[in-house]
Amino acid sequence: MSALAEESSVMLTHVLDKEFLTSLPPLLDKLKSAEDQQKKNRSRAFSAFALHHICGVSKADSAKAVIDDFDDYGVDAIYYFAPTETLYLVQSKLKAAEQFSQEEALAYCQGVRKLIKQDFSGFNKNVLVRQAEIEDALDNCSHIQLVIAHTGSGISKHAKIAIDDLLADEDHGEERLTPQVIDYDASRVVTDLRVAKAYAQVNTDLWIQKCSTVEEPKVTYFGLVQLQDLISLHEVHGPALYERNIRTFLGHKTEVNTAIQRTLAAKPQEFMYLNNGVTALCLEIQPKGAKQAQGGRKRLKLRGFSVINGAQTIASSAKFLADNKGSDISTAKVSLTLIKADSDGEFGKSVTRARNHQNPVLLANFAALDDEQERLRRDLAHLDIHYAYKADAADGLADANRIRIDEAAQALAMLQPDPRFVVWLKKEPAQLLATTSAQYKALFAPTVTAFQLANAVRLNRYIQNRMATEAKGASGQERLAYKHGGYVLAWVMIKQAVNAIKSATLLDVAKINAGLSGPFDQLRQTLWDATHAATLFSAGPPATYAMGPLALFRNQTHVVPLLQDVLIAHYGLSADPVLEHKKKLYKTGQPYPVDLFEYLVSKAPQIGNLT
């Protein structure tokens, strides 16, 4: 079992501080330093975090259940969950570097034994002020559930033995102890952190006209719905309604969406004839009322309703109503296909892909079906960063905490040791977002963290903005070198910040500006010198060039040796005796000198003080 990764620990700490600490009972020991009190409170908040996710109770109620302080006999939280008549006794450990130990288990077991005997002697004030409540819970509960919440690499062997001995012991006479302890481990913490940032499930009732059903191979309902009903869902649920769609609203100015609004304004009764309809997936579909209502009109109770095709229809119609208050669209209907299927499953994804292929979409739009993109969105949300991996309407507003998927791909490409990425970005950028391509799979691997993505983007933004500024101040061939050489320079420079990028800390924009300014100027000059030499035909005067920088940077044959020279010069490796050996390892058939480039990249001198 793996301990909680550093980046997940940072996210958990952020959640504990922001959502649980303020609701905890005050610490009884006020003599500790502020640092020690904060550390203790985070540990206490972790008990509340576990209870909140295990029982589904409010954060405030789970925090109030915490008794953790001195003299708690190893029991950190006590909570009675009335719906299942279960009393939860929680012990938590917020130390990723340590297993849950035998010593901690023995203390916890001692506390449990005292509680089930209703022996409150020696417990702290947090327990004593709740004594009547706890006694009542012990008298009325049907189950007593032990919970071990921890972020380390597991529960130690001897700790498990101590807990098993308690559960197997018949001397305490308590038959309500649940035989299995809830092991709330690091993997569950990560899962619950991500679930917390998931879109809420859409559950609703819809009336379907002319309703018909197919039972095989998938339960499917067909019919007509009032467009107003779908608009109402859009207004209530927003993006959650389109969780598994490949695009959100693209804006009312697109040709298709303009046509939708024009039809609603002029001929709402003809809307269903001029529209492809809406397709949605549902986890559950339950018909209500008579088996066959009059006119084939049925009420369907839907759970997990997700529109996978037709987002533009619904969102454009909602925009029309918002802009035209009082407009009557009561006669507007739209055809609806409801398929009972898990939107996260392969069948649901294949339906989404097929239905959207019938409309003009980019291959990059289908990245929205990749689970890795949703994982990154949720993790970035914990860092207060909005990751827009679905196509949507550009609002034209600059937002440092918003990252587009194409921007993410560019930045992550700078981390790759393969120099061909800079050529692909200039020549064929679309293949980096084609989910079946090797490039996409390398960029958005399961190992990529939210911190790596955000940090790479921040560095790449700085470099691209600086290159744009340099281009404005230059002329001739040098101006073109800066205009088209941004990816080349970023690919070299970002290697110098890999240690900072991979840390579990967001880079400080002010420190990026200060720390990269000097190295950027040095690298810019090195790149220009190399570009000038690679493109020069005759020194003149006047100088003539065999090709322009754009042609150079789009050509792998030219870019690979240029990057090799720039890396060696900028990293100060010209006297490195290993280079000749690495050069000799190049084999016919390799797309580029793999061993040499991996070595050069590994020798990048790191720029510090960026976080």
**Tokens matching residue 312:** 């533009």
The C-alpha angle 597, 601, 604, rounded to 5 degrees, equals: 145
Residues 9, 152: Cα–Cα separation, whole Å: 11
Question: 214-249: buried (b, 16+ CB within 10 Å) or exposed (e) per residue?
Answer: eeeeeebbbbbbbbbbbbebbeebeebbbbbbbbbb
- Cβ atoms within 10 Å of 585's Cβ, excluding its own: 13
pLDDT band at 542; cut points 50, 70, 90: confident
Per-residue pLDDT reduced to its tens digit, 453-489: 999 999 999 999 999 999 999 999 999 999 999 999 9
Looking up tokens 């008549």, which residue turns up? 85
- Cβ atoms within 10 Å of 457's Cβ, excluding its own: 23
- pLDDT above 90: residue 63: yes
- Residue 179: cis peptide before it, omega within 30 degrees of 0: no
* All structural domains of the chain with their residue ranges: 6-195, 203-361, 381-602
Question: CA nearest 297: which of 203, 228, 212, 220?
Answer: 212
Mean pLDDT over residues 110-132, rounded? 93
Tell me the sheet residues that pair with 184: 149
Maximum C-alpha span of the chain: 101
Burial of 557 (0-12, 13-18, 19+ CB in 10 A): exposed
Burial of 74 (0-12, 13-18, 19+ CB in 10 A): middle
Per-residue pLDDT reduced to its tens digit, 283-320: 999 998 765 555 668 899 999 999 988 888 898 888 88
Residues 447, 386: Cα–Cα separation, whole Å: 20
Residues 380, 187: Cα–Cα separation, whole Å: 18
Residues 524, 485: Cα–Cα separation, whole Å: 9
* pLDDT computed for residue 220 by the predictor: 94
* pLDDT computed for residue 252 by the predictor: 47
Q: Three-class SS of residue 208?
A: strand
From the centroid of its chain, how far is CA 503? 17
- pLDDT above 90: residue 15: yes
Question: CA nearest 4: which of 105, 74, 99?
Answer: 99
Under 8 Å between Cβ of 600 and 568: yes
Mean pLDDT over residues 347-364, rounded? 60
Under 8 Å between Cβ of 90 and 149: yes
Question: CA nearest 363: which of 436, 312, 302?
Answer: 436
Range with the lowest mean pLDDT among 3-12, 47-56, 98-107, 254-263? 254-263
Under 8 Å between Cβ of 483 and 529: no
- Averaged pLDDT score across all residues of the chain: 91
CA-based radius of gyration for the chain: 30
Per-residue pLDDT reduced to its tens digit, 122-170: 898 999 999 999 999 999 999 999 999 999 999 999 999 999 999 999 8
Range with the lowest mean pLDDT among 64-73, 234-243, 591-600? 64-73
Residues 198, 433: Cα–Cα separation, whole Å: 23
